Amino acid sequence: MDSGQLLSVLLIAGAGLIVLTTYPYLATGIAYRDRDNGLSYILFLMGVAVWNGLFAAQALDPRPIVKGFFFSIATLGAVLAGLGWLLFASTASSTPLLDRRRLVYRVVALLAGIDITLAITTPTHSLYWTVAATPSVSLAFTDIVPNVGYWLHTVFLTALFGAGATLFGRAWQNGTDVAYTRLYTLAGFTTAVAILGSSVLLSGTTSIAPLAAGCLTTIGWIQAQQKRYLRLPRPYRWLNNLLR
């Protein structure tokens, strides 16, 4: 097994683990759905689950066209995750209110709808990418030839995660719930950088961005569970101790 194959296996395993966490995290999100950003956490969580699940599903079939299909649906999940993350950050009690919040939400929702529609229909117009006919270098993920829509999608997704991280960064700067706002800020910007870096360096192939987004859902779950500290599995308790 060469280094490319090993990296693919590790990324697929990581994405699979994130998908497995969806059930307990979703149960917690439903329990807290009446809180400030409980519903937005659910949207964020489902987007991350689809993103990671379809990212890993590319390994199920060697045919480029099938890998391309899974990659398209993973892109849908990525946009939902970005939208959910921005809503999660902007509706949190610790973060400052957005200026002209309703207008921002409407514009972002419109752009997200256009992005999703064009991404999942790209085989009919190729505005976003075309799937390379040659086998994938990584053996697990699709190879694409990016077009202008792909780069616009990358900028949009990076902006969503960057904006959410900025809101938490302002809360961190103001000294509000520092343990978690600091972690959200760092993990949010890490995800934004991972999206941009993976898109530029490895278009459509190996990417750590879905896994980075999965770290954000874990932070949210731990924050919700902090009042039930003794019920947390030991690794999560260790992480919770580090955050304090």
Asked if pLDDT for residue 230 goes beyond 50, the answer is no
Query: What is the structure's pLDDT at 184?
Result: 97
Higher pLDDT, residue 36 or 208? 208
Asked if pLDDT for residue 23 goes beyond 70, the answer is yes
Query: What is the structure's pLDDT at 240?
Result: 57
Query: What is the structure's pLDDT at 244?
Result: 54
Query: What is the structure's pLDDT at 89?
Result: 95
pTM value surpassing 0.85: yes
Query: What is the structure's pLDDT at 35?
Result: 81
Asked if pLDDT for residue 236 goes beyond 60, the answer is no
What average pLDDT score do residues 79-104 get? 92
Contacts 24+ apart (CB under 8 A), 131-135: 131/64, 131/65, 131/67, 131/68, 132/64, 133/64, 134/64, 135/62, 135/64
Measure the CA–CA gap between 237 and 82, rounded to whole angstroms: 28
Measure the CA–CA gap between 213 and 201, rounded to whole angstroms: 19
Tens digit of each residue's pLDDT (9 = 90 or more) over 173-207: 999 888 899 999 999 999 999 999 988 887 766 78
Question: Domain residues for 11?
Answer: 3-243
Burial of 103 (0-12, 13-18, 19+ CB in 10 A): exposed
Task: For residue 96, give the CATH number of its domain.
Answer: 1.20.1070.10
In this prediction, residue 135 has a pLDDT band, given cuts at 50, 70 and 90, of low
Mean pLDDT over the full length of the chain: 88
Query: What is the structure's pLDDT at 131?
Result: 85
Alpha carbon distances (Å) from 182 to 63, 86, 174: 43, 16, 11
What percentage of the chain reaches a pLDDT higher than 90?
Answer: 59
Q: How many domains does the chain have?
A: 1
